[in-house]
Amino acid sequence: MNAGGKTATKARSLRQAMSDLHIWVGLLPGWILYAMFLTGTVSYFRDELSQWMRPELPAYTAVGQGPVVAGRLTSAMREIAPRASAWSIGMPNERTNVAAVSWLSASTFQSADLNPVTGERLTVRQTRGGDFFYAFHYQFHYMPRHVGRLLAGLCGMFMLVAIISGVIVHKKIFTDFFTFRWGKGQGSWLDAHNALAVFGLPFHIMVTYSGLVILMQLYMPWGSAMAFETAAERQRLTAEIAPIVPPSKPRGEQVELANIASMVRLAEARWGQDQVGRLLISNPDDAAAKVVVIRDEAGRASNSPQYLLFDATGKLIRAKVRVGPAAEVHGVLYALHLGRFADYVTRWLYFLVSLAGTAMVGTGLVLWVVKRKQRLPDHERPHVGLRLVEKLNIASIGGLSIAMAAFLWANRLLPAHLPGRSAWEIHIFFIVWAVTFAHALARPAKTAWIEQLWFGAAALLLLPALGAATTDRGLVSSLSASDWVFVGVDLTLLALGGLHAWMAMAVLRHKPMRRRAKQEASDDVAHQANIRDVAAT
C-alpha cells in the first residue's frame, strides 16, 4: 500500500517534471523551430518552386537521352570554365528544367544554371528559387554557414527532447487518439496539438533525428577525430558518405578527355535509364583527369554514394556499389530526411505530414500563451514576458507566411535585370518579416493576429493572379497546357491562402474563455433586468 503510494507520487512527479521540460524546451527555440519546419516543408517542392520562379523557362518534355545531354553539358563547361580544376554537372531530371553546374577556378567556387536543351548559360531572372527556403531551413541567412548550422543543430536537439518528453507527458495517447473537443479553450488547443503530434509522430521523430545525424560531424566532431587520425583515414570516411574522389595532381599534359557520353551509357546500363544524377570531372583535359559518374537518388531510400570512376582515357577504374553498415545507416537517414527518392504521391504525403509538424510547433506556441492567459485574474494586464511571447508568436507564425509570400511577390515584380536581383528577393523576405514583427508590437494581440492572417491570406490568394498578370503562364493557360508544375504551385498557394483566411475568421469569431464567462454573466444580469421590467409593466 505504502509502496504503491510512493510509486504513484514518483510517477506523478516524473510526469510533472517532463511536462515542465516539454513546455520550456518547446518554447525557447519554438520560433526558430517553426521557421525551420515551415521552410523545410516547402523544400519538399524545392525543384517545383524553382521552376515556378523561372517562368521564362518552359518545362522541357524532351531534353534528350542521358548520354547525349551529358556530352552537351560537358562541351558547355569547356566554353564556360576552360581553366577550372574541377567541374560538377547536375543532370536535369523530371523535376527540374535546368542543369545546375559549378566549377572550381583558382580555388574559388562558382556556379551557374544551364539550359539542358542547348547548353547555354541561362540569363533569365536571377533567383535562388526554392533553394533559398531549403538553405534557410538548416543554416539561416546573414550569418556564417557553420554558425547557422550549429544553431539549427541546437534547436534540433531541443526538438528531440521536446518530442520525447511530450510523449511521456501525453497521458492518454490511445484513449484520446481521435478526440477533439470544441470550445474548450486550452483543452481544444491541447487536443489539436496532440493530434498533430501523434498522427505524424513517426515522421516527426525521423525528421528530427535524421536532421541531427546529417549535421552530426559539425557539432560532434570528436568521435571521428579520435578514430580517424590521418588525412588518408579521414578521406576514407568521407568517401563512405559522399561521392567524393580526391583529384590526382595534374600532370600538365594536355589530353582530350575521353567521350563522356559512353561513360554515362555504361552507367545507365548498370542502373537504368536516366539514373545518372551528377558528373564530377577533376582536372579536365589533363592526363590526370578523373570522371565520377554518380547515381541519382530517385527510387532508392538511401543516398550512400554509388558511382563509377573513369580515368582520362575513359577506362573504368572503380565502381562504388556499397558502403559499410554504419555509413549505410547514415545514408538511409539522410535520404529519409530529404525524401528525394519519393514519387509524387509520397512527396505530397511528406509535405502534408511535415505541414502538420509545423502546425504542431505553432499550436504548442499558442498553447503556452492561452494557458497563461486563461489563468490570469480578471483585470490584470498580462505580464511583459507573456506579452512578448504572444507578439513573437504572431510575427513568427502570421509574419513568416507573409514574408514567404513576399519572397514570391518579389520574384514576380522585381525588374528582370536588377543588379543583385536574387539577393534582393531575399532582402525583401527579411524586411517584410521585420515589418510584421513591428506591426505585432504596435497592435493589440488579437487585432495583430487577425490583420496578419488576413494579409497573409490575401498575399497568397493573389499570387496566382499576379503570376497570370506578369507571365504568360497563369493558371488558365497552364491548365490548358497540362503544365502540372505551375498548376500545382498555383493551386497549393490558393489552398494555403484559404487556410489563412479560415484561421483569420476563426480568430475573429473566437471569444477567450475568460471574457466569455464574464459576458455570459452580464448577459444573465441583463436578462433578469428584462424580466423585472416586463413584470413591472
Q: Which residues bind another protein (CB under 8 A)?
A: 175, 177-182, 195, 199-200, 202-203, 206, 299-302, 332, 336, 339, 341-342, 345-346, 349-350, 352-353, 356
* CB distance 114 to 120 below 8 Å: yes
Residue number, 182 or 222, with CB nearest to another protein: 182
CB 136 to another protein: min, Å: 24
List beta partners, residue 114: 99, 121
CB 327 to another protein: min, Å: 16
CB 501 to another protein: min, Å: 18
**Sign of the CA dihedral with 496 first, then 502, 506, and 509 last:** positive
106: exposed, middle or buried (Cβ count in 10 Å: 0-12, 13-18, 19+): exposed
- C-alpha cell read off for 121: 548559360
Residue number, 175 or 482, with CB nearest to another protein: 175
Residue number, 114 or 327, with CB nearest to another protein: 327
CB 335 to another protein: min, Å: 9
CA distance 499 to 522: 34
The residue with cell 531541443 is 158
CB 534 to another protein: min, Å: 25
- C-alpha cell read off for 169: 507527458
Residue number, 242 or 352, with CB nearest to another protein: 352
CB 192 to another protein: min, Å: 9
Residue number, 199 or 424, with CB nearest to another protein: 199
**Sign of the CA dihedral with 111 first, then 113, 115, and 116 last:** positive
- C-alpha cell read off for 120: 547555354
CB 345 to another protein: min, Å: 4
CA distance 326 to 113: 35
CB 196 to another protein: min, Å: 8
Residue number, 305 or 339, with CB nearest to another protein: 339
* CB distance 459 to 405 below 8 Å: yes
Residue number, 4 or 325, with CB nearest to another protein: 325
Residue number, 198 or 308, with CB nearest to another protein: 198
Residue number, 77 or 335, with CB nearest to another protein: 335
Residue number, 133 or 351, with CB nearest to another protein: 351
CB 93 to another protein: min, Å: 17
CB 322 to another protein: min, Å: 14
Alpha helices in 414-512 (DSSP H): 421-442, 445-470, 475-480, 484-509
CA distance 461 to 509: 21
CA distance 90 to 92: 6
The residue with cell 523561372 is 54
The residue with cell 511528406 is 350
**Sign of the CA dihedral with 152 first, then 153, 158, and 159 last:** positive
The b-or-e profile of 303-329 (16+ CB within 10 A means b, else e) is: bbbbbbbbbbeeeeeeebeebeeebee
Phi, psi of 279 (to 5 degrees): -120, 135
